[in-house]
Amino acid sequence: MSQTLSHAGTVVFRERDGEIDYLVVSSSDGLNWVLPKGHIERGETPEVAALRELAEEAGVSGAMVAPLSAQHYERRGKDVAIQYFLVRASGSTTTNETRTLRWESHDSALELLSFPEAQAALREAIAELESNQNREQ
């Protein structure tokens, strides 16, 4: 498989009342639940692309916490490589897209996500946050 990154995405979390929720969004066709992601445009870094896609697809702004592993899948016979990032939600922005957003616990988000590469990114993000919490204690 090619290692060239073509997409960037985010695993976004927020803390409310001591609980962590994760953002899942409806796909552009409304048939699946996905993580915000999209093409890396010419001249963009993966980090910039990930935050841009988060704002465009979900109307959410955020701060980078950590890079996650790149995930791969095949679409129409081509390898798609997505660099995911763990992002803490920090506010909202305007968006022209009409996707449905859901903030869910990690178990619910894992059940909702339609694709294995998104589930893998979320599992890694959960482990990263748990590791950070253990270091802070």
pLDDT at 132 over 80: no
CA distance 52 to 112: 23
2 lies in some domain: no
pLDDT at 137 over 70: no
Q: The domain spanning residue 67 has which CATH number?
A: 3.90.79.10
Q: Which domain holds residue 11?
A: 7-136
Q: What is the pLDDT of residues 68-122, one digit of tens each?
A: 998 888 777 788 899 999 999 998 887 777 889 999 999 999 999 999 999 999 9
1 lies in some domain: no
CA distance 32 to 114: 6
Q: What is the pLDDT of residues 35-62, one digit of tens each?
A: 999 999 999 999 999 999 999 999 999 9
> Strand, helix or coil at 27?
coil
Per the structure, the count of domains in the chain is: 1
b/e burial code for range 6-44 (CB count within 10 A of at least 16 → b): bbbbbbbbbeeeeebbbbbbbeeeeeebbbbbbebeeee
